[in-house]
């Protein structure tokens, strides 16, 4: 359902959304919303991934996974979108010559452009009455007008058009879709985008009205960070939210105030290189400066018994890597003593750097085409009922290593038909086809770790995106609805309790089945310092909160890792997984 008038005569389909006649906007006091608003500034995210994240949250509200409303704020790489009733001829240049994507989408309105220097907002809100679509769009305009007023700009909604206008032209476009009373798509506020893209189209299908930017209106560059900080309270006020919770990703270069990220400092210092492994900082009582003392509940006993040594011999004999060793996992003695291990394929060098991880960052060698066979042999020799297969990031490969994952699943299932397969995958840079390759092999559990809260993503990881991770997990569920999705968080790296609770709410909203939460343990003295040791009672609170939201299983404890008790976590989810096709 698009933003089309319901009580007025049909009008031309102008602007980002269909034309809507002016309506009286109900004040917040008259129409307070009792739902919680969760706002997420996600940074820069490709359009298709943001679109799927909208779908995930929309589905979550319709299906009852969440009662909360969401406001997604982000930037896109250059992209043209054409609404459901749009005229493709309003794109004035040959697509072959464009340095931008073009997508036909399911909102109202005609063609528009999104790109760097533009703040895009996607409210995922429940409307109490499907006839409220027109007042809803009017409120979007009001929130944007109030935001511009804070910058000293006079703006208004113009009769006959949708969007926000100024003396110099249109500064914000609006286009929405409402299905099952829940909104999608939203608004785009021009801050300082490359206006050359607007010359490549008739913006919103309008050829005789100018488009302007907030920076041009105020005579200086307005950053995305400024606009986000100005918009959020105005949106909350206009829509009458009594409760709200916001999580803000780091701003990239050019988006806001200059920031320094710890992972960049560690990378520059060579922390993740093979050569630096012999260069350890001096510790005082086993601690870096400012680190807390390790509590008794974090102490692990090393068990170098026969089972452990036999597992080590098996892995070396098959020339296989394990994340247990590479990540210095504290549970290695327990797991190996029980005859279980998490196999790590695609080599032992990662193309990315994460400040919590001990895997070497570097230029990988060519992948080994025989590795899937050796991994399958190891799984068969261990006689596993539930096998976990993970990998390093391989951004150097066109498919990110998805083909090797699929081959390993297929070969393992051939050798051990009674074994359930869980894969812990990288994000494949958001490549849907790569994910489909893995899902076509039908793993019983698809695991992709979110790792940390939204605010800390960039400080801890060089090339990750919170929105991308959530979209990937939802995509995986759509590709195999009968399989399980899983994700993990590490705590004690500087996050707050409230941020973890908000992250659990996001995970439930997009439909994740299993969540693991464990304590960060610095792999070496070269890595990110431990911020705090989370008390077992707090881990218990996370489990209770997550499962209270409806997450089927939350494994939460100081020594929990993504693959820890993987078989038990899978069995704790009350679903029956159909056997994969033969």
Asked if residue 112 belongs to a domain, the reply is yes
CB 386 within 8 A of CB 567: yes
Q: What is the pLDDT of residues 399-449, one digit of tens each?
A: 999 999 999 999 999 999 999 999 999 999 999 999 999 999 999 999 999
Report the candidate in 459, 402, 422, 369 with the shortest Cα–Cα distance to residue 565: 422
Same domain flag for 494 and 377: yes
Same domain flag for 382 and 517: yes
Of 224, 248, 272, the residue at which a domain comes to its end is 248
Asked if residue 567 belongs to a domain, the reply is yes
Same domain flag for 83 and 175: yes
Same domain flag for 331 and 186: no
Same domain flag for 189 and 80: yes
For the chain, what is the domain count? 2
Of 226, 248, 270, the residue at which a domain comes to its end is 248
Same domain flag for 130 and 45: yes
Q: What is the pLDDT of residues 283-327, one digit of tens each?
A: 777 788 888 999 988 876 655 555 656 656 665 666 566 555 555
Asked if residue 126 belongs to a domain, the reply is yes
Asked if residue 446 belongs to a domain, the reply is yes
Asked if residue 93 belongs to a domain, the reply is yes
CATH value at residue 132: 3.30.930.10
Phi, psi of 241, rounded to the nearest 5 degrees: -80, 130
User: The domain containing residue 462 runs over which residues?
Assistant: 303-572
Buried/exposed code over 202-218 (b: 16+ C-beta within 10 A; e: otherwise): bbbbbeebebbbbbbbe
Asked if residue 253 belongs to a domain, the reply is no
Same domain flag for 443 and 521: yes
Q: What is the pLDDT of residues 262-278, one digit of tens each?
A: 777 777 777 767 666 55
Same domain flag for 236 and 343: no
- For the record, the structure tokens of 139 come out as 């409120």
Q: What is the pLDDT of residues 213-231, one digit of tens each?
A: 999 999 999 999 999 999 9
C-alpha span between 495 and 491 (Å, rounded)? 7
Same domain flag for 221 and 77: yes
Same domain flag for 242 and 329: no
Collect contacts of 147-151 with beta carbons under 8 A, ≥24 apart: 147/189, 147/227, 147/230, 147/231, 147/234, 148/172, 148/214, 148/217, 150/230, 150/234, 151/214, 151/217, 151/218, 151/222, 151/230
Please work out, in degrees rounded to the nearest 5, the angle formed at the alpha carbon of residue 272 by the alpha carbons of 269 and 273: 90
| H or E stretch covering 232 | helix 224-239
Asked if residue 235 belongs to a domain, the reply is yes
CATH value at residue 537: 3.20.20.70
Same domain flag for 187 and 48: yes
Asked if residue 26 belongs to a domain, the reply is no
Q: What is the pLDDT of residue 308?
A: 56
Residue 463's CB: how many other CB atoms inside 10 A? 16
Same domain flag for 310 and 244: no
pTM of the model: 0.88
Percent of the chain with pLDDT over 70: 84
Residue 472, classed as helix, strand or coil, is: helix
Of 201, 231, 248, the residue at which a domain comes to its end is 248
């Amino acid at each position: 359902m698009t933003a089309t008038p319901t009580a007025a005569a049909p009008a031309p389909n102008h602007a980002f959304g269909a034309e809507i006649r002016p309506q009286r906007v109900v004040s917040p006091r008259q129409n307070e919303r009792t739902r919680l608003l969760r706002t997420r500034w996600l940074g820069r995210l490709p359009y298709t991934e943001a679109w799927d994240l909208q779908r995930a949250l929309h589905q979550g509200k319709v299906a009852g996974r969440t009662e909360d409303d969401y406001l997604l704020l982000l930037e896109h790489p250059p992209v043209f979108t054409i609404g459901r009733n749009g005229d493709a001829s309003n794109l004035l240049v040959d697509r072959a010559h464009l340095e931008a994507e073009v997508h036909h989408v399911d909102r109202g309105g005609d063609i528009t452009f999104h790109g760097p220097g533009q703040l895009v907002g996607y409210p995922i809100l429940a409307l109490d009455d499907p006839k409220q679509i027109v007042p809803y769009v009017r409120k979007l305009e009001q929130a944007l007008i109030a935001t511009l007023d804070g910058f000293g700009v006079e703006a208004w909604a113009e009769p006959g058009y949708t969007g926000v206008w100024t003396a110099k032209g249109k500064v914000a476009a609006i286009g929405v879709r409402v299905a099952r009373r829940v909104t999608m798509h939203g608004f785009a506020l021009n801050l300082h985008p490359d206006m050359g893209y607007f010359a490549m189209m008739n913006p919103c299908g309008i050829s005789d009205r100018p488009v302007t930017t907030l920076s041009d209106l105020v005579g200086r560059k307005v950053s995305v960070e400024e606009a986000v900080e100005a918009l959020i309270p105005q949106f909350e006020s206009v829509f009458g939210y009594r409760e709200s919770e916001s999580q803000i990703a780091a701003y990239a270069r050019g988006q806001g105030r200059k920031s320094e990220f710890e992972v960049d400092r560690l990378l520059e210092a060579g922390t993740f290189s093979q050569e630096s492994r012999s260069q350890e900082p001096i510790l005082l009582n086993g601690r870096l400066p400012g680190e807390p003392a390790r509590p008794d509940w974090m102490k692990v006993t090393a068990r170098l018994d026969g089972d452990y040594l036999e597992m080590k011999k098996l892995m070396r004999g098959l020339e296989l890597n394990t994340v247990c060793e590479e990540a210095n996992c504290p549970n290695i003695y327990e797991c190996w003593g029980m005859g279980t291990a998490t196999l790590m394929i695609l080599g032992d060098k990662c193309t990315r750097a994460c400040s919590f991880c001990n895997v070497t960052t570097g230029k990988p060698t060519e992948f080994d085409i025989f590795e899937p066979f050796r991994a399958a042999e190891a799984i068969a020799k261990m006689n596993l009922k539930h096998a976990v297969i993970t990998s390093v990031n391989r951004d150097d490969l066109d498919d990110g290593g998805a083909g090797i994952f699929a081959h390993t699943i297929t070969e393992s299932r051939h050798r051990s038909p009674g074994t359930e397969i869980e894969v812990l995958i990288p994000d494949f840079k958001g490549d849907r086809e790569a994910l489909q390759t893995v899902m076509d092999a039908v793993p019983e559990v698809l695991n992709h770790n979110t790792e940390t809260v939204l605010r800390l993503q960039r400080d801890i990881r060089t090339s990750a995106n919170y929105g991308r991770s959530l979209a990937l997990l939802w995509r995986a569920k759509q590709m195999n609805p009968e399989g399980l999705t899983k994700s993990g968080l590490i705590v004690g790296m500087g996050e707050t309790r409230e941020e973890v609770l908000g992250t659990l709410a996001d995970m439930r909203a997009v439909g994740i089945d299993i969540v693991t939460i464990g304590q960060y343990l610095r792999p070496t003295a070269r890595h990110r310092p431990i911020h705090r040791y989370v008390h077992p009672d707090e881990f218990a609170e996370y489990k209770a909160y997550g499962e209270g939201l409806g997450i089927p299983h939350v494994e939460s404890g100081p020594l929990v890792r993504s693959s820890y008790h993987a078989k038990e976590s899978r069995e704790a989810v009350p679903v029956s997984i159909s056997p994969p096709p033969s």
